[in-house]
A and B are shown apart, each in its own frame.
Chain A
């Protein structure tokens, strides 16, 4: 566990009331200020000339990660996995999203087509571009090397899967700079460790039981190999075992299991060929403790659902994505454009904005300050009220932006109508639909009615 500022302070001259207390040589006004910075790892400890060996030891011990951060991929597109510090996202947050990889065999006759599709895949959701992170290339014929160069010419990170140690050594000598993750199947731990040491690339340690993995990773740690990713090759009780691996790392600081985990969906679902069942397994492994998830099938719809789940699970629960409260013009607005109001929860904004856009009717979208809550939650917490809506409307100077005096409120909070009317007596309050998906139809009818009126 990391030390707190106060714990650190006790070991500094200021905390021990020594004559060097608050000497300012570290660049901070007091030992306490330095301790706080140190706790946040914002300064190196050697900025303090008087730091004791005891404190150094404690800081070093505390800096051993519960779960090793492992990086792979080209320098400018590097992926970081691991470095998680909690068992549950509500304890703090999960930090490094599960890396989603697709497996391709070098002998696949459709290799080029599949790779192009995977590399090009990108879908926008709540302001983020969701993409596939990596390709696992399996050595199944003599075109392996040629296929590697095809993958490294894309933005995708590379994971190599082969049982030919010599061939891998030869390849790594050439492509070290692209820093692939290397999975040597059936190789001895010594050989795997040697690859890690020699080429400075992360390697996979695989076993059919946790005990087997511990034995191998301990051996690797003895040889100073720390760039490890572990793989538990089994189906039975997999979620339980992955939970035990994460628990050993996070709660018990058990170093041999303090590494990210790679899971191959085809290893666990060999008897369930149905793509939907595979994606169900994949989804539970995003929730329960896989740092890399390898799929053997690429289907747009299934990938989209899986990437959306990953975004949900890895959103920081303490900081819901929020929009700046103000008025957002959607499309080519003019003085007659309708005004819709909603909360500043990013998801709410993006969903509503997308529907307005798809309606083809330009509109103003007024976003109120509501602590990043959705409409119903904000309403229940009194963060979305007649008063907040009126205030936001006035601050955005909507009276000057439009000639009409109508505002559309979300259907779920239709009961706010009177409250808003009281606050905005000159305005006509119209109840819009509950669901964003109904907005396009509603807006088209609304515009027609306006014209008739």
Chain B
């Protein structure tokens, strides 16, 4: 029997593309997460905090308590998020349900530029998640932004309208596909065929929270990563997962009217966000976008020690 241990180190054919977020680099790694020996690039996953421009009654009381009244003013909230240690700030312009769209888009442009002035960290401008709104909103935000940022989410039904403007204005883009490696690759091909720089694309493979289809996202991210290291240049973009928005709509983060085995609501809600984030990082995500400031602290500590 052979008893000599040889470290089973692997080499990748291709590394993950480096997307520049101001002075930070997203991606760049040569290996699966936390495999330091195989990674020739000194990178670490980034932690973003997401704020939103409109607070609805669905917004969690736990989050409201954690952030305080600054959530009523997106600019104050952005500053607070930076103070809480966010590497990156994501601003969600959730204006889909507002009647007067044109007016709201004008307001959104102003808010974006106020935030870009108020914080020094990189900014991601996220749309409303409604195609008709995003087709108008995202190009306007791209044109208005007074510093380079990242614009998202662009999807199969919206990329044709939005991509040309982002290309012209020089921002990065987040491309979302519905938990499917082939669709992710296909859309990256279509977008680069429009002349868009592949080094400015971030993949959002979409995801479900812990207990709500997390396993699908987990495996799709692992497969995207392995395909990239095996040489697929249309899948070696960094991956972002919007953990916060998914976990904070789960029943576990919302409801107190549950079996006592579910434990304390605040602990449960934060652990739901943290464990969703840590498993996405374990699968290979380069950036997790979180809601609760404590989650940010814990996940950053974990990344540092892992």
Contacts and interface: CB of A to CB of B under 8 A. Distances in A.
Interface of A: 88-90, 121-125, 210-211, 214-215, 218, 221, 235, 237-240, 243-244, 247-248, 251-252, 254-257, 272, 274, 276-277, 279-281, 283-284, 287-288, 299-306, 308-309, 311-313, 315, 317, 347, 351, 355, 358, 374, 376-377, 380, 435-437
Interface stretch (B34-42, B76-84, B109-117, B138-146): B34-42
Nearest to A315: B215
B96 interface: no
A274 B263 contact: no
B59 interface: no
B32 interface: yes
Given A251-B8, A257-B5, A309-B210, 8 more contacts: A90-B222, A125-B211, A214-B5, A239-B35, A277-B298, A299-B263, A301-B264, A305-B271
Contacts of B64: none
A113 B218 CA distance: 37
Contact of A284 (B223, B249, B278): B278
A218 B1 contact: yes
Given A254-B5, A312-B214, A347-B212, A300 B35 contact: no
For the complex, would chain B's binding face be called helix, strand, loop or mixed by DSSP majority?
A: helix
Interface string B1-39: 111010110000000000000000000000011111100
A237 B282 contact: no
Interface stretch (B67-75, B195-203, B254-262): B254-262
Contact of A380 (B178, B268, B301): B178
Report, nearest first, the 5 A-B pairs whose CB atoms are least far apart.
A301-B263, A300-B263, A301-B268, A287-B282, A301-B267
Nearest to A120: B261
A90 B306 contact: no
B8 A248 contact: yes
A288 to B, nearest CB: 6
A125 B212 CA distance: 11
Given A218-B3, A239-B33, A239-B34, A304 B261 contact: yes
6 contacts: A218-B3, A277-B302, A304-B252, A315-B215, A347-B212, A376-B178
Interface of B: 1-3, 5, 7-8, 32-37, 178-179, 208, 210-215, 218-219, 222-223, 226, 249-252, 254-255, 257, 259-265, 267-268, 270-272, 274-275, 278-279, 281-283, 294, 298-299, 301-302, 305-306
Contacts of B3: 214-215, 218, 255-256
B135 to A, nearest CB: 16
Contact of A239 (B8, B252, B306): B306
B282 A288 contact: yes
Contacts, number: 171
Contact of B274 (A238, A240, A247, A276): A276
A302 B263 contact: yes
B161 to A, nearest CB: 19
Given A89-B215, A240-B36, A280 B278 contact: yes
A317 B5 contact: no
A377 B178 contact: yes
Contact of B270 (A238, A276, A283): A276
Nearest to B299: A280
A279 B262 CA distance: 15
Contacts of A351: 212, 251
B223 A90 contact: yes
Nearest to A308: B211
Contact of B8 (A252, A305, A309, A355): A252
B36 A300 contact: no
A413 to B, nearest CB: 13
For the complex, would chain A's binding face be called helix, strand, loop or mixed by DSSP majority?
A: helix
Given A237-B36, A279-B271, A272 B305 contact: yes
B281 A284 contact: yes
A244 B7 contact: yes
A238 to B, nearest CB: 8
B48 to A, nearest CB: 17
A347 B250 CA distance: 13
B85 to A, nearest CB: 15
B180 to A, nearest CB: 9
B78 to A, nearest CB: 25
Nearest to B217: A312
A206 B304 CA distance: 26
A7 to B, nearest CB: 24
Contacts of A280: 274-275, 278, 298-299, 302
A358 B264 contact: no
Nearest to B206: A376
A89 B219 contact: yes
Given A237-B36, A302-B267, A437 B210 contact: no
A251 B10 CA distance: 12
B282 A317 contact: no
B215 A313 contact: yes
A123 B274 CA distance: 20
A210 B278 CA distance: 25
Chain B CB within 10 Å, residue with most, of A255, A288, A304: A304
Contact of A247 (B8, B213, B251, B301): B8
Contacts of B251: 351, 355, 436-437
Nearest to A281: B302
Nearest to B31: A240
Contacts of A380: 178
Contact of A244 (B8, B33, B223): B8
Given A309-B210, A317-B219, A248 B268 contact: no
B178 A302 contact: no
A256 B5 contact: yes
Contacts of A305: 210, 252, 268, 271-272, 275
Chain B CB within 10 Å, residue with most, of A125, A254, A276, A313: A276
B219 A243 contact: no
A440 to B, nearest CB: 9
Contact of A272 (B2, B215, B272, B301): B301
B302 to A, nearest CB: 5
B255 A248 contact: no
B234 to A, nearest CB: 19
B305 A437 contact: no
B1 A255 contact: yes
Contacts of A235: 305
Contacts of B268: 301, 304-305
A237 B34 CA distance: 7
A121 B294 CA distance: 27
Nearest to A218: B3
Contacts of A252: 8
A376 B210 CA distance: 17
B283 A287 contact: yes
